[in-house]
Amino acid sequence: MTVRVGYFPHNNSLFVLRHRGILERALPDVEWVDLRALPQPGRADVKSALPSVHSDYLFTEDGYDFIGTGFTPPITALGNDRDIVYVGISGPRIENGRLVTKAGNGIESVADLKGKRVGIAHGSWQTTLLLFALEKAGLGWADIEPVDTDVHDGGALLLDGSLDAWVGAYPGLTAVEAATTLHTLVDTESVFSHPSLWFTRREFAENNRPALEAVITALQESDAWIVENPRHAAQYFVDDIVARGGTADLDAWEAALRGRPFGIGPVTEEFLDEQQHAADLLAVNKLLPKTIRVRDAVEPSIGDFVAKAATRD
């Protein structure tokens, strides 16, 4: 069978791997599926639901067999009864972004966000970060006005006053920092580890193990290359943005990649505890349709292979 690998720029590792030709050595017929080119459903209600497109396309004929995302999508998948398994995680991405507001606007802490408009790329790691921050402040989802800004528009909306606070991420956060003085309400490190992660269908993991192991091995090699060549890797992202009619700063992208951990490791107990905590919060705040048990998506033999692949020279 042809193995289909999903990719998009927000999972930096898979996006670079798509351009390197490394996986093709083991899987010459691999099919790369750009998530952005697939039909996109309407946006989920930011107050009462989570988008599920990342996991939904693991189970469609026009989708893919393997995907990498941020923290929240596998939880969403399990909440929608998708039979997925974790493949691996990156190290903590604690420098990737934070919850900010414009300095001097009277918002000094997360507790001050009650009734305020807070921008997030809903359904991503940003939803989880905001929920964790609200919990620490004794607030819930219903206490704020969440605004789904996607990943591109939040900075401009914060600057023009349409948002009171925003979960920003680099490199986009760089431009906002240059335009105004920001006040950090919560940094990522204080609430969770925020790794990249990869997952697949259980059926694919069980019936196509050599292909899955080839993807894992290729990711390790490609990620090692990113560490050694961050500016070259950054150029892939800049070129993609420019090809789509946008503008991008190569220096900002290089700085963003230098600040992120690369390499795929096995899921850990600490990570699973964070996932379970997030899943419980999402259910309590009525964003997830039911409670779930994230450890049901763990296949130990995959973790064993990932751990061995991570130690190879």
Tens-digit pLDDT profile for residues 108-143: 999 999 999 999 999 999 999 999 999 999 999 999
Say what percent of the chain tops pLDDT 90: 87
Q: Compute the distance between CA of residue 150 and CA of residue 130 in angstroms, rounded to an integer.
A: 15
Residue pair 191/136 in contact by the 8 Å Cβ criterion: yes
Lowest mean pLDDT, pick from 36-40, 99-103, 308-312? 308-312
Alpha-helical regions (H) of 106-208: 125-136, 154-159, 172-179, 202-207
The pTM assigned to this predicted structure is 0.92
Is the pLDDT at 150 greater than 80? The verdict is: no
Q: Compute the distance between CA of residue 108 and CA of residue 240 in angstroms, rounded to an integer.
A: 38
Q: Compute the distance between CA of residue 30 and CA of residue 282 in angstroms, rounded to an integer.
A: 35
pLDDT confidence bin for 151, thresholds 50/70/90: low
Lowest mean pLDDT, pick from 152-161, 180-189, 193-202, 278-287? 152-161
Q: Compute the distance between CA of residue 283 and CA of residue 305 in angstroms, rounded to an integer.
A: 32
> Average of pLDDT values for 80-90?
97
> Average of pLDDT values for 24-28?
97
Give the best-scoring range by mean pLDDT among 87-96, 170-179, 222-231: 222-231
